[in-house]
Structure 1
Amino acid sequence: MFTNNADEVRQMIKKAKTDEEQAKVATNIVNHAVSEMDPQRRQANQSYNRR
């Protein structure tokens, strides 16, 4: 049964939005790091990931 009050629900939504924003930042950091990698190494990593 759902027993959370409106304030608790608002807090959960706020936390979910914060978590989503942090995940987007982390994704951007990883994507930037990958784009900065040496092209040969990036290709080797892609080949490894396809195994």
Structure 2
Amino acid sequence: MWDCMLVGDVSCIPFFLATVVIGNFVVLNLFLALLLSNFGSSSLSAPTADND
């Protein structure tokens, strides 16, 4: 952000903030998708009895 402000002016602040906010939403969405896919997996199903 400081590099943008040194080269440009104050107009780069909304671009930087939008990039940070959208990036955080993307990372949060990927984390939640991973978390939900693990909860939906079959490894959490009821254990079956082994008849050895």
Query: What TM bracket, shorter-length normalisation?
Result: 0.5 to 0.7
SS of the residue aligned with 2:11? helix
Q: Are positions 1:18 and 2:16 aligned together? A: no
* 1:1-51: CA deviation from partner (whole Å, max 9, x where unpaired): 7444211122011110000011111111110111111226xxxxxxxxxxx
Unpaired stretches in structure 1, ≥5 consecutive residues = 41-51
Unpaired stretches in structure 2, ≥5 consecutive residues = 45-52
Higher relative contact order (CA 8 A, sep 6+): 2
Q: Which runs of 4+ in 1 moved over 4 A?
A: none
TM-score, normalising length from structure 2?
0.60
Residue number in structure 2 paired with 1:33: 37
Larger radius of gyration: 2
TM-score, normalising length from structure 1?
0.61
Q: Count residues with an aligned counterpart.
A: 40
CA-based RMSD of the aligned residues comes to: 1.9
Q: Identity rate of aligned residues, in percent?
A: 0
